[in-house]
Amino acid sequence: MKLGFLTGFSEEVVKFAADNSFDCLEVRPPKEWIGDTDEAHKARQEAKKVLNESNIFIASIMEALPPLTTPKDEIESHLEKMAAVMDVCNDMNGAVYTGAGPSGYNINKSLEDNVAMYKEIYSQVAELAEEKGVNIGFENWPGRRAFGDGANLPITPKAWELMFEAVPSSNIGLEFDPSHLMWQWIDPYKAAKDFVDHFHMVHLKDTQIFYDKLERVGNHARGWWTYRLPGFGELDWHRFFTILYEAGYKGNMVIEHEDPIFDGERRNEGFTICGNYLRKVLIS
């Protein structure tokens, strides 16, 4: 397992990663990387040169996923766009295609019926991923409201179970983020144990819960929790990494920085502190 962080791509970012002992990056691909053109191939080659000089690699490419509400006559267009991103993944030495979603949850239908909508679209996505030899990892971000109108589908162990039964492709899995489970009161350790075989990537993010606010406003209100960098929240990271190691997880892990304390001018400081903390916790 190699350690990195989620970021936009630039030479400055690559240098920062190398200078602070990171191994890899998850990036939102620059537009100039996409496409089967001389210009796109050149842009990717130039990026790989910068990466190789700093001994950093692209672990995953974060890009949009087709929503559950995609009309049948638009599915082919989405697949073409995904295929172009998958070509970038392959050009970056097997990066995982990641993204939050699929979105488009229909609150007027049952979870099972939403999964049926997912199956209709993502059976074709799975075929494309298998053809391209690319793994897809769904980040389990609920959106602003878990199972709300238009929200993301893969956010609970029950949803994952139904989704993996509906589309049983080894190329379709999770970009597992324990922080999103914590404020839903879902045990992140049991979820990791039960579904680690479906992990293609791991997001490292923590959650801090303000119990004094929670006991006054209840979990229906906002403001009783916030995302934090690992080490500043509730998760026992040694316990979490132990689960991954014992299960034989061989993928990579990236810090997703949404910590309000280390925001703005302190953002890189947060990455540095978090990287140092995680290297001490990681089992070698």
Domain count, the chain: 1
E strands, 146-232, in order? 172-176, 199-204, 206-209, 225-228
Closest CA to 267 of 1, 6, 3, 2: 6
> For residue 92, what are the β-bridge partners?
none
User: At CA 168, angle to CA 167 and CA 171, rounded to 5?
Assistant: 95
Indicate the range of 88-92, 112-116, 137-141, 280-284 predicted with least confidence.
280-284
pLDDT at residue 22 greater than cutoff 80:
yes
Find the Cα–Cα–Cα–Cα dihedral 62, 142, 228, 234, rounded to 10°: -130
Q: Which domain holds residue 134?
A: 3-281
Q: What are phi and psi of 162, to 5 degrees?
A: -65, -40
Give pLDDT tens digits for 53-89: 999 999 999 999 999 999 999 999 999 999 999 999 9
Q: Quick check: pTM over 0.85?
A: yes
Residue 255 sits in a domain whose CATH number is 3.20.20.150
pLDDT at residue 92 greater than cutoff 80:
yes
Give pLDDT tens digits for 176-204: 999 999 999 999 999 999 999 999 999 99
What is the structure's pLDDT at 76? Answer: 98
What is the structure's pLDDT at 1? Answer: 85
Q: What is the DSSP letter of 170?
A: T
Instruction: Tell me how far apart the alpha carbons of residues 243 and 246 are, in angstroms, rounded to a whole number.
Output: 5
